[in-house]
Amino acid sequence: MEKKYKVIYTGEKTKEFSEAVFIERFTTKYGTPEKAQKLLQISIPTLLKKDLSEEKATEYQIDMQRMGLVIYIEENDAEINIYQTPSAALIAKGGSTVIYSVPAGNGIDWLKNALKMVLKSPFIWFFIMIFYTLLLSGISSIPYIGDLVSTPFAIVFMGGIMLGCQAYYTGDKIEIRHLFAGFDHSFKQLLLLGIFYLILLIIVVVLVFALSLFILPIDIPALLAEPDLFMEFYSEAFLSAKLQFIILFLVFLGLAFLPYAGIWFAPALIIIDGQDANTALTESFKACFKNIAPMMLLGLAFFILLIVILTPVISIVYILGINFNNATDFIGVLIGLSLYMMITLALLSAVYTASSYTSYHDIFHHTEPTS
């Protein structure tokens, strides 16, 4: 017979405890501010949950401890001693969390749940993605440093969006304000994660560039002498060595998956689970490689969705370009189709972003949305 466990709050807080952060996170995930305040008034060991599997009890323990409460678990038949201090082995460490390995078919479910989430509030999601794009474009336009700075800030915005997705899963709704929630919650860790991500991207680009100098027929001295002709050198190399270029591209895709895997779950792990940037990056790597099959199926399903939605529009533009003799009418229709494409791409981007949360929720927390 499987052993059952109970979760006990000692009445103590961790050194990193912040009442405002605890109330925000507890309310988002488990209940109301009143319940959070009531829990904070407890000063002696108190039973929070019982009859849980060891896995579920440990997951709940880790979750509450990240919010700043000292929690331990025991078997159901153990007696709670209000004078006992739980041993270090029973207290959740602030590092790793439970990572589930889910079936490959869950990749399709992630996309379905993401679609459901976006279609629940399509206008809000549309404006979130438009503001997100405009803000990053504005940051990128800063001379000299814009492109470098925009990447870490993109992660901060993404963390806020993850908090909005979490609100949806707890029965609330996502709002435009969630786009900026990362500046109020875990800002430093999200920004640090963005810096880690940028460094990983730069390493990948440098490695691929260095490799290209060895496997492609490029005149390196000539390239160094005339760096402005960079694209011309690579165009000539592509025409004379297509196979090597394909190999190089595949190597780039393989290396690029590493920063992608590190960033996929990390913003949610930071802003919802309270992890630091380094731990979140590591946990995201582990979760992606532990669930490589559903991750690949998610990517394939999204690519098919993209093709299915965009192909008719591209076909219409092509047909109109052939059959329209009046340039004014063609431009008018083209503007209309462009607006349609903007809305469609914004919502597709929203679905892709939301799938990051739905996959995170499935792999790190096994519960269904209440919306």
pLDDT score of 359: 93
* pLDDT by 10s per residue, the chain, length 371: 577 888 888 777 876 677 877 888 888 777 677 788 878 877 767 778 888 887 788 888 888 887 888 888 888 765 444 334 333 333 333 344 678 888 889 999 999 999 999 999 999 999 999 999 999 999 988 888 888 889 999 999 999 999 888 888 767 788 898 999 888 888 899 999 999 999 999 998 888 878 777 776 555 555 555 655 555 655 665 555 666 777 777 888 888 888 889 899 999 998 887 788 998 999 999 999 999 999 999 999 999 998 888 887 777 666 665 555 555 556 666 677 778 788 888 999 999 999 999 999 888 875 555 44
In sequence order, the 6+-apart residues with CB closer than 8 A to the CB of 35 are 26, 27
- Among 18, 125, 169, smallest CA distance to 351 is for 125
Asked if 293 and 107 count as a contact pair (C-beta separation under 8 A), the reply is: yes
DSSP string for 166-213: HHHHTT----GGGGGGGGTSSHHHHHHHHHHHHHHHHHHHHHHHHHHH
Residue 163 tokens, joined: 């908090």
Amino acid type, 134: L
Alpha-carbon gap, residue 174 to 187, rounded angstroms = 19
- Two structure tokens written together for 53: 């599997």
217: left (phi over 0), alpha (psi -120 to 50) or beta: beta
Spans of all domains in the chain: 5-75, 106-364
What pLDDT was estimated at residue 234? 58
DSSP notation for 277-339: HHHHHHHHHHHHHHTHHHHHHHHHHHHHHHHHHHHHHHHHHHHHHHH---HHHHHHHHHHHHH
- DSSP annotation of 82 reads T
The pair phi, psi for residue 11, each rounded to 5°, is: 90, 0
- Measure the N-to-C terminal CA separation of the chain; round to a whole number of Å: 35
Rounded to 5 degrees, φ, ψ at 70 are: -85, 115
| pLDDT of the residue at 86 | 39
Fold of 5-75: Ribosomal Protein L30; Chain: A, (3.30.1390)
Is residue 160 within 8 A of residue 183, CB to CB? The reply is yes
Check: CB of residue 371 under 8 Å from CB of residue 164: no
The residues pairing with 9 across neighbouring beta strands, listed in sequence order, are 46, 71
Find the helix or strand (DSSP H, E) in which 73 lies. Answer: strand 69-75
CA distance 18 to 67: 8
pTM of this structure:
0.68
